[in-house]
A and B are shown apart, each in its own frame.
Chain A
Amino acid sequence: MNKQISNLVAFFLLFFIILTSCDDKVEYDLIRPESGPQKVLVEEVSGVRCPNCPDGTRLLDALQKEFDSSLVVVTFHAGSFSFPYSESKYDFKTDQTVELLQKLGSPLGYPAAIIQRTKASQGDGYPQLSNTWSSSISNALSVEPKIKINLETVITADEHVKLIYNLLFLEKMDGPVFTNIYLLEDGLIDYQADLRDDNGVVEKYEHNHVLKQIITPINGEILGNSFDILETYTDSITLDLKSYDNIEVPQNTSLIVFITRDDKVLQVEKAYNYP
């Protein structure tokens, strides 16, 4: 019997020795985010019934401030959390947002966002859970930009919005390059599930950067198949915001333009329609 107790003690001692001998702390420094010429598109997957999503939005808003506006955030409502409440004023889910979610893949959990259309490390899909956002955004920002985008919006005499976008290619590019244009709206007050709220639902939640319309085809509009270094490309598009039924206040709208190649975002820029 004593021998067996000795074995048990020896087994414990072995683990204790291993435990106490492990001084393998990882040294690292805390840093603050740095912004550069590269901007990052964050497509946040949301739904008015998603109780964790407001925390995700709060995190993104804070990151947007920390990264000095290098982030361009779009919130699109799709998936099973996106069915409106019977008391909801709006239905932010549209055929286009449903199609976009099918294209990008449904998240395994919420909050979730697609960062610069790069694949999530933990799976094969694009959506990433919030505990990887800071590092993914930081990695995407550290990339040397391949394109520079300049946007200009003009309100025409007939109160249409004219968006002029000018691209400067910073390196030679072969293969199809696509342009994508989203129309967003801020300041929409409506119901939203929120884990932090005592009732679980906030009646007057402010929904910002909500994707209202994908102006280009969902896979983008082809710009060309080959671009030389320092080549420029300029184009424009004119929109009658009143023609979109789901736009509530045109003054709260903005447009974002992002360029993709091989389904990855190369650069993104945002312009308010009524700055």
Chain B
Amino acid sequence: MKKTLLSIGFIVCWNVLVCQDNEKELAINGLFVSNLNFAIKDEKIGASATPFYEDKKWGGDAWLDINAYYRNWQFSTRLDGYHHSILLNPEDVYTKYGIGYFNVRYSGDNFNIEGGHFYGQIGNGLIMRSYRDLNLLIDNSILGVKGEVYLPRNQKLMLFGGKPKDLFHLEPLWNAGGEYRNDWKIGSVYLSTGAGGSFKFLDQSMINDLVDEVQYYFPEDRVELYRSSQAITFFNDLSAGVFNWALEYSMKFHDPFYNSESLRTLGSGENVLGRFETKTGKAFYTQFGLDFEKISFQLEGKYIDRFINKSDPFSFNYRNDLNFIPPMARVQTYRLKARYIPATQFLGEKSLQMGITYPLKKHLFQWSNTLIYKLDNSRLYEEYDLQWEHRDESSKWVGGLMYQDYNQSIYEGKGGNLRIQSWIPYVEFYKRIKGDQSLKIESQSLLTEQDKGNLFFVGMEYALSSQWTFNLSCMYEQKASLFYPSGGFFYRGGNGLYGLNFVKQLEGYVCSGGICRYEPAFSGVKVSVQTRF
């Protein structure tokens, strides 16, 4: 409460000062986003037995962003509110209000400096990426200072230091580092080359917590602990006509992390999975593209060995990641194509993704193929997807077939060697009727004998005008004879987007690092508000 009042006071005082000085140069804008969920208990699909369904019956999240600009200054703050929210833990509810973010930034001719919470990235983000994705409750901003200096000959230096945050508290460590980048060229070959480093300095309380835990390990499992850890990276982006190639190689030293796949001996003589380690980590990422007029090729590769980088070594939550290594599989927009997603395996993974795009008059053919293996060469995930698209002035057809081989044991933390092999045919039709009126119909089937068996999905979206959009969809789970109908509308008016939807959603497991989080089925009404001012 105190923090909220301070924030509001800060904004008001600043406004008064600035308005006295020069009102014309002042600009203020903001964004309000809110999601409300209302529970409709449905035991058949498993939407029950949690505080949200049994007790609270409703919950929501809201974020209010306010930005003010004055000459070279920018002031930003964000007020966060969670009331009986199921975003943090769907099996529980979370209620808290406060300042999620504040930042003051000054931009000069060849430099800028900011204080407060800031976001940033080194290279492609392998050793450091601070960002926010509030719909997943990710905001790993750092509270401290960041500066960027633009040097002659397209050189840039970025330095930062501060404490990473999680929700409304700061983690007990300091994170500091920087990046040097140089954009240069050799003839018609354009390059962007750089290096970066990120250092963590653990607070004594964090060291004590770690020692308290590892001091009970047996001698053969002893862990060397360090007060600080270091991560370095080197990266290069190259572009020459139709050819482009990016690569980054990173290493990490002395960083404590929990290896959930490593065995630890117990006093009973038995062993269990999971122990702390500080072994060196390595990560390599590359992307290669050839973009001809008639056809284009893309190749992406990744190698990860012990590259967990968290602000809290005890945490299993993605919210505490200080870096970002993208999953190798493509982002899927169709519901059933996105049912089995191979999350990045930070402990060890080598993966490859290939893509070919071939346009032919009004047709577009796309082939993509993803292969993901563990470091011991055991297969984690395979995906083969052939897609055809046809466009004319008022309509679009998309059709395709995808084959997936997904290691459920690894990705969902289930024992044994459970694999899901599925075929996913899919089709979409879009038609612009007249003016702003349009209709989109899509359908997919996920055909498999494993897990929940065959799933079928059909969805429709009708835009009546630029303001009103209605949607209706249904999923059918054949093995259990269950239907998951959803429907609702969105209204776009003024500066806002408002939605009201009835949703029934299939449950699923989300696991990371040996710890599983169950995302229960959802049954209820979702109200969304997004408005700018």
Contact = CB atoms under 8 A, between A and B. Distances in A.
Nearest to A61: B268
B184 A62 contact: no
Contacts of A18: 197, 199, 230
A51 B516 contact: yes
Contacts of B214: 28
A125 B96 CA distance: 13
B209 interface: yes
B193 interface: yes
B230 A80 contact: no
Interface string A186-229: 00000001111111110000000000000000000000000000
Contacts of A51: 413-415, 516
A122 B314 contact: yes
Interface in B402-450: 409, 413-418
A78 B266 CA distance: 27
B449 to A, nearest CB: 16
A255 B343 CA distance: 44
Interface string B4-42: 000000000000000000000000000000000000000
A131 interface: yes
B517 A108 contact: yes
B55, B151, B228, B274 — which one has the most chain A CB atoms within 10 A of its CB? B274
A15 B197 contact: yes
Given A18-B230, A28-B211, A121-B314, A197 B55 contact: no
A92 B54 CA distance: 19
Given A80-B91, A109-B516, A131-B213, A102 B51 contact: yes
Interface in B58-101: 88-89, 91-92
B225 A28 contact: yes
A129 B314 contact: yes
Interface stretch (A132-140, A147-155, A164-172): A132-140
A198 B270 contact: no
A26 B258 CA distance: 17
A7 interface: yes
A118 interface: no
Interface in B189-225: 193-195, 197, 199, 207, 209-219, 222, 224-225
B457 to A, nearest CB: 23
B364 interface: no
Nearest to B172: A121
Contacts of B232: 12, 15, 19
Interface residues of B, number: 73
A95 to B, nearest CB: 10
A110 B417 CA distance: 20
B107 interface: no
A263 interface: no
A130 interface: yes
Given A1-B184, A15-B197, A52-B514, A197 B268 contact: no
Nearest to B171: A122
B292 interface: no
Contact of A199 (B89, B91, B253, B415): B415
Contacts of A122: 312, 314-315
Nearest to A67: B267
Contacts of A131: 213, 258, 274, 276, 314
A106 B91 contact: yes
Interface string A59-103: 101110110000000000001110100000000000000100010
A24 interface: yes
A4 B128 CA distance: 23
Given A109-B316, A199-B415, A15 B207 contact: no
B254 interface: yes
Contacts of A248: none
Contact of A8 (B88, B180, B218): B180
B207 A22 contact: no
A29 interface: yes
Interface in A1-54: 1, 3-4, 7-8, 11-12, 15, 18-19, 22, 24-26, 28-33, 50-52
A110 B516 contact: yes
B332 to A, nearest CB: 25
A131 to B, nearest CB: 5
A80 B46 contact: yes
Contact of B213 (A102, A132, A200): A132
Contacts of A1: 184
A270 B375 CA distance: 47
Contact of A4 (B153, B217, B222): B153
A194 B486 CA distance: 35
Given A51-B415, A129-B515, A22 B195 contact: no
Contacts of B92: 105-106, 125
Contacts of A63: 266-267
B49 interface: yes
A123 B169 CA distance: 10
B194 A8 contact: yes
Interface string B505-533: 00100000011111010000000000000
Interface string B254-273: 10001000000011101011
A198 B415 CA distance: 6
B465 interface: no
Nearest to B153: A4
B479 interface: no
Contact of A7 (B180, B216, B273, B518): B180
A1 B415 CA distance: 56
Contacts of B258: 131
Contacts of A108: 88-89, 316-317, 517
Contact of B415 (A3, A66, A195): A195
Report the 10 A-B pairs with minimum CB-CB distance, sorted nearest first. A135-B212, A62-B266, A200-B415, A109-B515, A106-B91, A200-B416, A106-B92, A24-B227, A66-B267, A26-B225
Given A66-B268, A106-B91, 5 more contacts: A18-B230, A33-B267, A122-B312, A138-B216, A193-B414
13 contacts: A24-B226, A25-B226, A28-B214, A28-B215, A30-B222, A33-B267, A50-B516, A65-B268, A66-B267, A105-B92, A106-B91, A109-B517, A135-B209
